[in-house]
Structure 1
């Protein structure tokens, strides 16, 4: 924790920055799809069990083609191709006596005294390890799943249960964070019934069980564990380490600042056996460092201090993965969430830096400047860095130093020094993250799927910005994967099947990683989408295939510039044309809604009999809305052709042409009489539409596109109902004799008459 970090903790400065950041508008997705649209067109699938909640544990098994789900009193096995079909479920309730004992302890028997399955890991070729709360009696079991794809199996032997203490939490409200390496389980859990003794615990396997020092706030101070990963350090397995990600109350915070939450990354060595005389059955290699995700500012940094989830994105070199983490903020000034990216080299560098040290209760935390014993605390006993074969051989001064100095002084900063992507004032909080590395025409890109607490998934792509290693996150899609506003509790990706699996307290959902056909029906629209999964193949926006011939794929993820790639494309859809009717002194709505929410709409006007096109400028009678242009107090000279153009990334494309005819009151009344005279014909917009065409376009018919809507296609959207011009005309006829002041008072925005 350096001087810059200490300065950033000063609340007054940080809140000044936060107040300014809180005024920022949230990022808009390019495409927003509701649950109904996903269900109708894009194959979102859901799974739920009757009278069951709390779907939290997810395990993707590509080899068996199964998705294993842990929930309240159940383990389910679902098909990765379609979670709604071929589902198998296994009931695993807590014993009646455990539930009664839980109820006697003051817990709610209907909501807490159940077996909430929190942990699922692949144990071997035929079994899973499953652990649950067991009505506040943590318990584990080995679930037989077989190895044949044709006949999925799901069987549990209730006679061979294992004690789940130190593996699963007692309380269903607590998250479980664990990783199974070989036959050893590394967990971050509360090891007692009251939820006060939080520990990092190793169990199962051949090595002795180890844990952190209990009730020592320097080691762990009311932590909330988030994720655990096994990451190799070198080619020598003796150097392998386990990394824990959690948040906790900061022991290094000044007393005047009160309680402060910070995010952490902790490390332990896999071959740690504990100490010989001190730290017996305790970790001797445990160290932790602060994980910083903040926006630098002149008045101080704005910190996103609440770590919510971490995703490990591996590459060919398993020793240097990227870590994508989502954070929220505990600030009362503004609501915001952020994604920060960390490199393993930066994490390892923090553990090699100076230790944090405090002389006494009245002293500040400083960088330790004294002699550090050998071997350096935190180093694994191996031939790579020394001659010690076991932590039991470490000298006493090494063990004592490790016990008193678990905290590192320097924090781990994100790649680029700031968040990759953030949302402020969006009305939701990030809860989960998953990432996929995708091959595109101009390189590889990381696509992030971010879950929120309102049941939506954000699809964000990381693209280079300026010089390396700076990148920025672009929000491509916002998907409402659950019908209600449910918190997303877990996410997993099947890269092989291009599917995303998401859980909430009430259900499991499955959605494809891409929806190429939704991005547009023209080369420019497909290119502007900047989705690395998709490319223009000459006739449609389809799934990008890296092995396809280059001349048949058009894609520009880095810049999203279609001007060059699509210059020779002749497959543009026909320009939509629509006729709109208005009455003098009334209102007309010119509807034009681009599919992309990131596009800006510009309007030009061409009056009949004139050559020049003029830009529609803002004035008192005109109001721009997200769905079009509202004209009030219409005049006859407003008649003409209005062209709606979408501008995105500097590229413009016409969306539709709207022909506005403004009728006088006399013409409108004549139209009303014609409508009333056509009595046996059924009422509807087509009758007055025909009469109106005879009135303003003798012998005309309107054309094939006259009834098409200037709306994004494809995708069902609610259509506005037709408005009767005859009714408008009759009202105008009654009011023609009104006093001028009364007429002016009556004017205002009215419904548009459109077809």
Structure 2
């Protein structure tokens, strides 16, 4: 408990702080890529998105990357699929694995929906050996497991169900398709956190398969597990001695240590068991004797109390050179009704182990308060594995009775596991989505190694976040680089896997599986400054374009600054940016004019300066009654003749100013506009050739004039005039005089330039 026990038990104070936090706007991505449903080909062409789905099949939850075979194995409703890692939409093989008819009928008789629940939803896939996978599914509320033959050779993919090796899936796969499966296969043994009964009330941590007897947690004991929701399971070595290996379970549950007055309080946990645990001799027979759990805290400290993100959603284990000390990246949401938010917290395994070596939580006193246990702890310490490293016991069956009894009554640790830096690495509050999944890649850049986070949401989007040092280590902060809309139906992301070898990310949802590249360097920009400001460790400026950074390749013009994103020195001699062309814009006195200027980066601030005709000085355009800044540009209302001049638009980001557009505004009187209109009507048909400038202008000011913006239909999303303020769309008002680029629904222009 520790800090968690103090702050979380006073939610009233924490929520006062949370109200202020909830009012904050979510961080915008630097680049947002979103596309119309009618144009999936554009996303494929420009950004390499590939998708896969089976007809009349849903719920693609289980993903398994096999780098050796170059295959992605997918578990879905009634199917297992084998896809190419290079392109999941090609060379796909599928294996039908429905539940038997009698199981479906029995499921329907039990009151379940035969069309949506009484199916075999494949929940887990594990590489069992060199030739087979272990697959487990719900089996229409009859959990079942099977061994799937996938063959030896990558050139000839095989996908066959082994009919002689079908096993009972109880304790391995959930009954209910709404429940998640969390498991890890170590050797031939499967460790899983699952509901072991039809009603979904007996949740257990279970060991099955292999040669040793099955083990489980103590049933129906809220001190061990209290309505848990299992998230992830990992096998993490403790030392060079395999007898010290432990299995770590990550889950959330209802807190038993919460004061009754606070009601049901959800908390996140990390639990441990020893891999060589074989249960007790006289007590805890066929039960875990080394099970311990500690609270996993992800909170923002505040003056009035901590704001907790208490709903653990997913955990990713990022390996390091020392396989005993990986980093744990976890995503959380909040159960608060006051505000909505999600966060990413990072934990070290040393901090997790330190919590399990700390004091045990103990309930005592007339008020049954949870305190730190101060009595004698028996030897060997509960939670320690029987091995020569820490003692002389060779088996948990040799543990003394007082050790077994203490372990049964004290599974909870008093100290919580706090994140590195004491706070979230990255959080979003008030966004229209919740974090659901996370995958992390460690990338070598010119100035060090960086962890890049890919965060799936319940809105069908993937966020790309980079962890950069902030001040002295270990403090770091997360910077949001990209937001990519992956699924056209905005289905929630249910699973993610990374192929670091192929630089691909695979994302699953209820409706489909998607594949995207880990980097889109060309989308960051076409000049050195834009590439440098992107701070993407995958990308660097090579003197000509923003391209993939290769640490092993030494090139003279390679420029990259991930830590600071400062192009001032790196790009000072860059000559790639073409000179700004001056675009003419025309307006009628008394009407409105819209000067379009949209930076590539949503994190940039736009500044406008104005130079009146015949004057050398530039003045800053300030917000006033007749001037309105929009996300797409500058709207000038009730034009006057003195508004004529040159307007310069510049983007300011990371203290760097980058000129974007130079627009020359000419304000005409009503008489001039009428005279030009009359001249156009009286003029004979012009021979083929360049149009006079006033004819382009008349097309824009006349009702129904086509204009270039209206003639560019095609398939791509257009920044239509509907997004401008109403006054800029009225009859006689000036419209844009240049063709728009295809773009995302708002914000940056991606690589989709014409």
TM-score bracket, shorter-length normalisation: over 0.9
**Structure 1 residue 434 and structure 2 residue 402: aligned?**
no
- 2:54 aligned to which of 28, 49, 55: 49
What is the CA-CA distance between 1:202 and the residue it aligns to?
0.1
**Structure 1 residue 204 and structure 2 residue 187: aligned?**
no
What is the CA-CA distance between 1:661 and the residue it aligns to?
0.4
What is the CA-CA distance between 1:574 and the residue it aligns to?
3.6
Mapped to 1, the partners of 2:224 and 2:180 lie a distance apart of 19
Cα-to-partner distance string for 1:537-593 (whole Å, 9 max, x where unaligned): 111100000011153311000000011111111111342432111000000000000
Partner of residue 8, structure 2: 8
Partner of residue 245, structure 1: 250
Partner of residue 554, structure 2: 549
Partner of residue 700, structure 1: none
Aligned residues: 715
**Structure 1 residue 171 and structure 2 residue 176: aligned?**
yes
What is the CA-CA distance between 1:8 and the residue it aligns to?
3.3
Cα-to-partner distance string for 1:648-672 (whole Å, 9 max, x where unaligned): 0000010010010000011000111
Question: Residues 674 and 691 of structure 1 are in contact (CA less than 8 Å); yes or no, is this contact kept in structure 2?
Answer: no
Mapped to 2, the partners of 1:122 and 1:497 lie a distance apart of 20
Per the alignment, in what secondary structure is the counterpart of residue 489 of structure 1?
strand
Partner of residue 527, structure 2: 522
Mapped to 2, the partners of 1:522 and 1:717 lie a distance apart of 25
**Residues 1:344 and 1:644: Cα distance change in structure 2 (over 3 Å):** same
**Residues 1:361 and 1:85: Cα distance change in structure 2 (over 3 Å):** farther
Partner of residue 21, structure 2: 21
Partner of residue 151, structure 1: 156
Partner of residue 752, structure 2: none
Per the alignment, in what secondary structure is the counterpart of residue 397 of structure 1?
helix
**Structure 1 residue 497 and structure 2 residue 508: aligned?**
no
Question: Residues 671 and 691 of structure 1 are in contact (CA less than 8 Å); yes or no, is this contact kept in structure 2?
Answer: no
| TM-score where L is the length of structure 2 | 0.92
Aligned positions of 1:565-714 closer than 5 A: 565-678=570-683, 680=685, 686=691, 689-690=694-695
Mapped to 1, the partners of 2:536 and 2:205 lie a distance apart of 40
Partner of residue 477, structure 1: 482
- 2:516 aligned to which of 511, 518, 524: 511
Partner of residue 33, structure 1: 33
Question: Residues 35 and 717 of structure 2 are in contact (CA less than 8 Å); yes or no, is this contact kept in structure 1?
Answer: no
Partner of residue 369, structure 1: 374
**Residues 1:683 and 1:400: Cα distance change in structure 2 (over 3 Å):** farther
Aligned positions of 1:534-545 closer than 5 A: 534-545=539-550
**Structure 1 residue 305 and structure 2 residue 288: aligned?**
no
Question: Residues 434 and 491 of structure 1 are in contact (CA less than 8 Å); yes or no, is this contact kept in structure 2?
Answer: yes
Question: Residues 222 and 256 of structure 2 are in contact (CA less than 8 Å); yes or no, is this contact kept in structure 1?
Answer: yes
Per the alignment, in what secondary structure is the counterpart of residue 449 of structure 1?
strand
- 2:336 aligned to which of 318, 331, 334: 331
**Residues 1:361 and 1:113: Cα distance change in structure 2 (over 3 Å):** farther
Per the alignment, in what secondary structure is the counterpart of residue 466 of structure 1?
coil
Per the alignment, in what secondary structure is the counterpart of residue 405 of structure 2?
helix
Mapped to 2, the partners of 1:231 and 1:611 lie a distance apart of 68
- 1:108 aligned to which of 91, 110, 113: 113
Partner of residue 471, structure 2: 466
Per the alignment, in what secondary structure is the counterpart of residue 586 of structure 1?
coil
What is the CA-CA distance between 1:717 and the residue it aligns to?
5.3
Partner of residue 425, structure 1: 430
**Residues 1:681 and 1:721: Cα distance change in structure 2 (over 3 Å):** farther
Mapped to 1, the partners of 2:272 and 2:687 lie a distance apart of 77
Per the alignment, in what secondary structure is the counterpart of residue 345 of structure 1?
helix
Per the alignment, in what secondary structure is the counterpart of residue 532 of structure 2?
helix
- 1:754 aligned to which of 713, 737, 741: 737
What is the CA-CA distance between 1:688 and the residue it aligns to?
6.0
What is the CA-CA distance between 1:674 and the residue it aligns to?
2.0
What is the CA-CA distance between 1:3 and the residue it aligns to?
5.6
Question: Residues 4 and 297 of structure 2 are in contact (CA less than 8 Å); yes or no, is this contact kept in structure 1?
Answer: no
Partner of residue 99, structure 2: 94
Cα-to-partner distance string for 1:233-260 (whole Å, 9 max, x where unaligned): 0000000000000000000000000000
- 2:383 aligned to which of 378, 386, 389: 378
Mapped to 2, the partners of 1:243 and 1:366 lie a distance apart of 25
**Structure 1 residue 83 and structure 2 residue 88: aligned?**
yes
What is the CA-CA distance between 1:292 and the residue it aligns to?
0.1
What is the CA-CA distance between 1:682 and the residue it aligns to?
11
Question: Residues 342 and 415 of structure 1 are in contact (CA less than 8 Å); yes or no, is this contact kept in structure 2?
Answer: yes
Mapped to 2, the partners of 1:140 and 1:677 lie a distance apart of 83
**Residues 1:494 and 1:658: Cα distance change in structure 2 (over 3 Å):** same
Per the alignment, in what secondary structure is the counterpart of residue 158 of structure 1?
strand
Question: Residues 579 and 660 of structure 1 are in contact (CA less than 8 Å); yes or no, is this contact kept in structure 2?
Answer: yes
What is the CA-CA distance between 1:751 and the residue it aligns to?
5.0
Mapped to 1, the partners of 2:482 and 2:150 lie a distance apart of 36
**Residues 1:230 and 1:49: Cα distance change in structure 2 (over 3 Å):** same
Question: Residues 35 and 481 of structure 1 are in contact (CA less than 8 Å); yes or no, is this contact kept in structure 2?
Answer: no
Q: Relative to structure 2, which stretch is displaced further, 382-391 or 8-17?
A: 8-17
Aligned positions of 1:280-359 closer than 5 A: 280-359=285-364
Per the alignment, in what secondary structure is the counterpart of residue 160 of structure 1?
strand
Cα-to-partner distance string for 1:500-556 (whole Å, 9 max, x where unaligned): 000000000000000001101111100000000000011110000001115331100
Q: Relative to structure 2, which stretch is displaced further, 544-553 or 298-307?
A: 544-553
Mapped to 1, the partners of 2:286 and 2:97 lie a distance apart of 33
Per the alignment, in what secondary structure is the counterpart of residue 187 of structure 1?
strand
Per the alignment, in what secondary structure is the counterpart of residue 577 of structure 2?
coil
What is the CA-CA distance between 1:731 and the residue it aligns to?
7.4
| Aligned residues: CA RMSD | 2.1
Mapped to 2, the partners of 1:74 and 1:360 lie a distance apart of 55
**Structure 1 residue 559 and structure 2 residue 556: aligned?**
no
Question: Residues 680 and 695 of structure 2 are in contact (CA less than 8 Å); yes or no, is this contact kept in structure 1?
Answer: no
Question: Residues 201 and 209 of structure 1 are in contact (CA less than 8 Å); yes or no, is this contact kept in structure 2?
Answer: yes
Mapped to 2, the partners of 1:609 and 1:440 lie a distance apart of 49
Partner of residue 742, structure 1: none
Question: Residues 204 and 225 of structure 2 are in contact (CA less than 8 Å); yes or no, is this contact kept in structure 1?
Answer: yes
- 1:191 aligned to which of 181, 196, 203: 196
**Residues 1:70 and 1:626: Cα distance change in structure 2 (over 3 Å):** same
Cα-to-partner distance string for 1:397-434 (whole Å, 9 max, x where unaligned): 00000000000000000000000000000110000000
- Structure 1, unaligned stretches of length 5 or more? 694-706, 710-714, 723-727, 733-749
Partner of residue 254, structure 1: 259
Mapped to 2, the partners of 1:347 and 1:557 lie a distance apart of 30
What is the CA-CA distance between 1:619 and the residue it aligns to?
1.0
What is the CA-CA distance between 1:689 and the residue it aligns to?
3.4
Mapped to 2, the partners of 1:437 and 1:294 lie a distance apart of 25
| TM-score where L is the length of structure 1 | 0.92
**Residues 1:570 and 1:370: Cα distance change in structure 2 (over 3 Å):** same
Mapped to 2, the partners of 1:226 and 1:302 lie a distance apart of 22
